[in-house]
Amino acid sequence: MTRQLGNQDINLKVVEADQDMVDYLIDRSVIGEQQIIFMDFLKLNLSRVFNGEPFYMIGNYPYNISSQILIKMINYKELVPEMVGMFQKEVADRVVAQPGTKTYGVISVLVQAYYEGTTILDVPPSAFIPPPKVNSSVIRLIRKKDYSLPCDERFFRNVVKTAFNQRRKMLRNTLKPLFGDVSLMDDPYFMQRPEQLSVQDFVNLTVRLTELQNNNYKNHES
């Protein structure tokens, strides 16, 4: 894949943290040494790679840090309009999962808040040498035209993560630490379980919680 990309007329940068792999790429003239960033991707400041210009992400991502890579992509969403990559199938399924399914969870909501995802193809173990013990899938994520949220994004993430901490419980129980002693028994959002809520529901829920927190704060002040 790296060789094929290197043959294209594009401004290509390759991030690699394995010295042996870097040596392999250079020794076999797969790509030029100046195109390689010898660094841990998770520690890389992506705004410096192309001097603040947007870029596309593509790769066979290390399965042990694939969720962290997705979170990093979200953190730099203004620079990444599209991503194509191979993940462990279990992770890929979670990324594109829909509400009401067992695979729908934190990473589903966080990614889909900003990106539209589709599965391109499934890859069996036999496609690799040596074959791994897991199945793989290639997914494509395209950033939404309007990817800004009408709420505090850090609080949004906190709400989503807290909600799925105990996914079998109703939200009025799992989210209680976020709203204190305010009674929410009549609010329909809080009578559901987290996997029942769409991404938009979670956005609306975050807005609602923010309002409740602000009102609670004002009541204490008065």
Pick the CATH number of 153-221 from 1.10.8.100, 3.30.200.20, 3.40.50.300, 3.30.350.10: 1.10.8.100
Q: Has residue 185 got a pLDDT over 80?
A: no
CATH architecture of 40-143: 3-Layer(aba) Sandwich (3.40)
The encoded tokens of residue 187 equal 């609010």
Listed by start position, the domains of the chain span: 40-143, 153-221
Helix/strand/coil percent split, the chain, to 5: 45, 15, 40
Convert 152-183 to b/e letters by CB count within 10 Å (16 or more is b): ebebbbbbbebbbeeeeeebbebbeebbeeee
β-strand pairing of 14-16 with 36-38: parallel
> Comparing C-alpha atoms, which of 119, 114, 116 is closest to residue 87?
119
With bands split at pLDDT 50, 70 and 90, how would you rate the model's confidence at 177? confident
Averaged pLDDT score across all residues of the chain: 91
DSSP category for residue 125: G
Q: Write the pLDDT tens digit of every residue in 112-138.
A: 999 999 999 999 999 999 999 999 999
Report for 1-10, 27-36, 99-108: range of highest mean pLDDT? 99-108
Q: Write the pLDDT tens digit of every residue in 186-208.
A: 678 888 999 999 999 999 999 98
Q: CB-based contacts of 27: which residues, under 8 Å, 6+ apart?
A: none
